[in-house]
Chain A
Amino acid sequence: ETGVTQSPTHLIKTRGQQVTLRCSSQSGHNTVSWYQQALGQGPQFIFQYYREEENGRGNFPPRFSGLQFPNYSSELNVNALELDDSALYLCASSPVGGAYTGELFFGEGSRLTVL
Chain B
Amino acid sequence: AQTVTQSQPEMSVQEAETVTLSCTYDTSESDYYLFWYKQPPSRQMILVIRQEAYKQQNATENRFSVNFQKAAKSFSLKISDSQLGDAAMYFCASHVTGTASKLTFGTGTRLQVTL
Contact = CB atoms under 8 A, between A and B. Distances in A.
A107 B102 contact: no
Interface of A: 31, 33, 35, 40-45, 48, 50, 55-56, 58, 88, 90, 92, 94, 98-102, 104-109, 111
**Of B44, B101, B106, most A-chain CB atoms within 10 Å:** B101
B5 to A, nearest CB: 11
Interface of B: 4, 33, 35, 42-47, 50, 91, 93, 95, 97-108
A43 B44 contact: no
Given A43-B45, A88-B43, A107-B44, A100 B98 contact: yes
Nearest to B52: A101
A100 B107 CA distance: 24
A43 B105 contact: yes
Contacts of B35: 102
Nearest to B9: A40
**Of A35, A44, A90, A101, most B-chain CB atoms within 10 Å:** A101
B103 A45 contact: yes
A17 B98 CA distance: 35
Given A40-B107, A42-B91, A102 B101 contact: yes
A94 B101 contact: yes
Contacts of A94: 101
**Of A35, A45, A56, most B-chain CB atoms within 10 Å:** A45
A42 B107 contact: yes
Given A43-B45, A106-B44, A109-B44, A101 B107 contact: no
Given A42-B91, A42-B106, A102-B95, A48 B42 contact: no
